[in-house]
Amino acid sequence: MAFLRIMVLLWADMLATYVMWIMQTYLTNVWKLGFTHAARIMNIYTGLTKFLPLVLFIFVDAGLGNYWNLLLSSTAFSIGLGFLSMSTPPVLHKATGTSKGYEPNCLGHTQKALFYTALALIAVGLSGHVVSLVAFADNQIEKKPDEPKVNEPKFERSSKSFLYKFRRGPDGKLKYMPNLRTPSFMVNYHKRKKQQQQGESTPKTEVDISQLQFQPIEAMLALVQKERVKLLGACFIILVPVIGLIALPYIKPWSLRFGIPAICTLVATLAFLQGTGSYKGESKPDGSPVTNVLRVFVASTRKMFEDPKQYSELYENQDTNTPKLPHTKGLLSFLDKAAIQLTTEIEEPEKHRLRLCTRTEVEETKIIIRMMPIRITFVICGLITSVGNTYFVEQANHMNYKIGKLKLPNSVNLVFYEISKSLIKLIYTAIGRCLRGARKEKYAPSIGIALATIFSVLCCITASGIETRRIHVIRSHGLLDKPEDKIPLSVFVLLPQ
């Protein structure tokens, strides 16, 4: 039950995803902002949702904990979506003395202040869920101890009753011992089969939940599939926001479009809070990559005038269970000062975490810094993502959503977008599995970056052709001076891009 109370927080993530998907349309249709102005607001919000998790990681590791981070971020989520609904003209028009129509002149300073505050709170809520939702849910699942499962033949299972039996040993106690009356060939068969199964047993490949840290929805579904917990309840929890995503596009008032997700998020937060007493306690934070990098910089700065006599004297954790990295030289060797152990730090080095780091932590920091140039290639993908969240949504705003007589909701684009992302992930996972089988898994990240860049270029080429066709249809039907009219072009032509 505790897991389901945590999983209900997905309502906020799924409904907020749709709300922010249509936000570009809200800014251009109601606020009457220009496309570039509205896109600037949305891109700043998206940047916040990518940067804030790094900050929250530090607070969680510093002692805040996943529970309190989830509670505070869910509260921010609820308040943010509530403020967003209140920022629409009809809600506070009497208090602010403005009109209740969805027009720019009906928006006062109060509504605008509520809107921008809401965006910041929603960004905090989404970032908090990214940091703690998966980790906290995984900690609450009662994991069963791993037991070797032997797939025994039917003959062997049926013959166990006479392969072994209780016999009295030399000490006079009953023991489970081989049956002396059992033919020797059957006993030998059982021993050989057991040895063969133990020698050939390999752990099954499972979903690495840590790889889905920044995808809470997929990670929670993977946890349900992996641990087989409360399948019926999990299906019901997922069904509620799915119904909301189908129904919300048919609701015309923007105050209700934003208000219904706010109510659902508040209910989810209260359900999570109600289960406080049933949650397991969290273990003491043992550090994260973000805090370790900061510690290395702080420690190396505080010891900038120290110089190690020999690199073999650098401090290292003596725990044999933790992996170690060899020392490297180069431009980043000044970070080695963080691993210099002074005489005052020899006793209980764990108490000097801001003054002393292990050699492995220093080398991990060097690796992260050396990877910075590689991340420049992600700028292209970031540009395409920002265009997709703004201009592509604006393109679909006045296009035809009908298939025959059936009119589909505008969330259909979001659904196809998420489905295509999942398919691409499956393809990349299959490629990685093939490379792993050929013992060339080190090439998987390079192939992934190359594919992302190639698909980004193809997306731009496709979008250019579709936009040319869209403008041609607008001109041929005389709609250049009629921006509010529907374009006689199916929205599904946008799917390839």
259 vs 228 pLDDT, higher one: 259
Residue 114, pLDDT > 90, answer yes
Average pLDDT, the chain: 79
In terms of DSSP bridges, do strands 406-407 and 164-168 run parallel, antiparallel, or are they unpaired?
unpaired
Residue 435, pLDDT > 90, answer no
Helices within 397-478 (DSSP H only)? 412-437, 444-476
* Strand spans (E) along 93-197: 164-168, 174-178
Range from 208-217, 404-413, 459-468 that averages highest in pLDDT = 459-468
The string of pLDDT tens digits covering residues 271-322 is 899 888 888 877 666 667 788 888 899 999 988 888 766 666 788 877 767 7
Q: How confident is the model at residue 389 (pLDDT cuts 50, 70, 90)?
A: confident
Residue 160, pLDDT > 50, answer no
Q: 304 — phi, psi (to 5°)?
A: -65, -25
Residue 189, pLDDT > 60, answer no
Per mean pLDDT, which range of 134-143, 426-435, 467-476 is the poorest?
A: 134-143
Q: What is the pLDDT of residue 161?
A: 44
Q: Is 339 helix (H, G, I), strand (E, B) or coil?
A: helix
Q: What is the pLDDT of residue 182?
A: 44
Residue 430, pLDDT > 70, answer yes
HEC readout, 461-483: HHHHHHHHHHHHHHHHCCCCCCC
What's the whole-number mean pLDDT along residues 372-392?
84
**Burial letters 74-91, b for 16+ CB under 10 A, else e:** bbbbbbbbbbbbbbbbbb
What's the whole-number mean pLDDT along residues 92-118?
89
What is the distance between the alpha carbons of residues 181 and 109, in angstroms, rounded to a whole number?
93
Q: What is the pLDDT of residue 75?
A: 94
Structural domains of the chain, ranges and CATH numbers in brackets: 2-144+213-278 (1.20.1250.20), 156-200 (no CATH), 289-370 (no CATH), 375-494 (no CATH)
Residue 374, pLDDT > 70, answer yes
Residue 103, pLDDT > 80, answer yes
Give the whole-number percent of the chain exceeding pLDDT 70: 78
What is the distance between the alpha carbons of residues 446 and 452, in angstroms, rounded to a whole number?
10
What's the whole-number mean pLDDT along residues 206-233?
62
Per mean pLDDT, which range of 35-39, 58-62, 375-379 is the poorest?
A: 375-379
50 vs 162 pLDDT, higher one: 50
Q: How confident is the model at residue 265 (pLDDT cuts 50, 70, 90)?
A: very high
243 vs 193 pLDDT, higher one: 243
Q: How confident is the model at residue 343 (pLDDT cuts 50, 70, 90)?
A: confident
Residue 157, pLDDT > 60, answer no
Judge contact between 106 and 100, C-beta under 8 A: yes
For the entire predicted model, the pTM comes to: 0.78
194 vs 244 pLDDT, higher one: 244
What's the whole-number mean pLDDT along residues 215-236?
68
Q: How confident is the model at residue 230 (pLDDT cuts 50, 70, 90)?
A: low
- Tokens of residue 304, six digits: 């900038």
215 vs 29 pLDDT, higher one: 29
